[in-house]
Structure 1
Amino acid sequence: MRKKIKLLTTITLLVMFVLSLTSCGKKQDGQTQNSENAGKNEPIVIKYPSFQVGVNSYAPVLAKNIEEFNKKYEGKIKVEIEEIPGDQAYVDKMKVLLSANELPDIVYAGGYNLLDPALEKNAVVDLTPYLDADPEWKAMFSKEVLEFNSRNGKIYSLPNERQVIGYFYNKELFKKAGINEPPKTWDEFFAVCDKLKAAGITPLSMDTQDSGWLTSLWMNSMVGTNGDNGNKLFSVKYKYKELQK
């Protein structure tokens, strides 16, 4: 028998939307179409390239969200997904489009450091006035989230989801190792892993279907909460050479 429990910390994924300026660079098909449709009462088309398609585990969720959005705003706004299978293929294409000043309407920036290069080319929209005009929408995001997605006091991107990291555990194997309760803190978690290993049981089996994303999040959390050194490591942004000192 297996049971799923949630870790205590709710995290905000480093997944942000960045809106490209239609006035920057060449007009794209969707932008040209929107200009032509302006006087025809046809819906505004928003181009959204994504790697969360095909066999990606998030693909069904994204498809459902887009379907519900298009239904709600039918006749006014329509989101069209461009499928780009694979994280790296997506990132590479966005960098090429950025270099050519041809970013799509929405970019899934994630943890791929796409926001800052886009800002250098003046290719993103300041979302601050829109958030200030809608306090209810702004209240959905924590102070830390808004600060993380801000540059020079202006908000340029927003997370599109929040998740709770959880795990499944095998009650029979826990009992065999003499473990009565599932861990609720990192210290308890590591202690449980040690007990399982001592009992000849492999402690963990991590996901690798997509990019090992959850595995990466766990590793970051473990390092980031490992005293002053771990905290220092994640306080340095995009400065690998500084970390080597």
Structure 2
Amino acid sequence: MSEQGGRDYNEDACGHWHSERYLCCVLADGAGGHGGGDIASKLAVSHVLQGYAAIPAHQPQALEALLRDTNRALLAQRAANPQLRNMHSTVVVLSIDLQDRTALWGHCGDSRFYAFRDGRLAERTNDHSLVQSLIDGGLLDEAGARVHPKRSELYSALGTDGNDLHISVSEQPWPLQGREALMLCTDGLWEWITDEEIASALSFAPEPQAWLDDLKQRVQLAAAAKPNHDNFTALALWLGTD
């Protein structure tokens, strides 16, 4: 699901690739003037998928290396085109080994990965953002973060040079038991819907697309008073026990 929201164009991008053994899902949310956000997010998605297809990055160091290489590609594109010098993008990547039945994920920025097991939230990424640092420091709660005036201020995203780039990758592959519902999404979705509401929508959904359709309706209802609300994108994957 990828929706324009109330913006003039959609700066989100997403995609996936799979072989018989591996599956890679990636999602990105771009920003920057002169159409740079659209270019940044598409570049991030295509670079991750191409790199993963060449060598599946299903170990933490390999996935981090792939994301750092994607950052270098984005920086090179910025350097080659002065109009794109301010472009950047969040990214979140999910890797699944279908043979060993494990998942691995990594991200940069405030696009998120969610893992629900038996309908309950089991794993969720922590944003690289100002409000997340305030939450971690006990100075803000989740409800306050959603209305904070600087809730969109990131301290890391692709397009960041040197030591200011922060990439988070799960410490080790996560065993899949076949009772999981997984989702990647941009902040245009989660800023309007709590984790509890995402779980509630999951509990009523007969299949993944119904889950995303429910979340879409919830975003549109919650954002009805803000006609220029952000693009929102999500990719969902359910695992069975077969």
TM-score of the pair, normalised by structure 2: 0.27
Could you say which structure has the higher helix fraction?
A: 1
**Higher RCO, 1 or 2 (CA under 8 Å, sep at least 6)?**
1
Q: Whose Rg is larger?
A: 1
TM-score of the pair, normalised by structure 1: 0.27
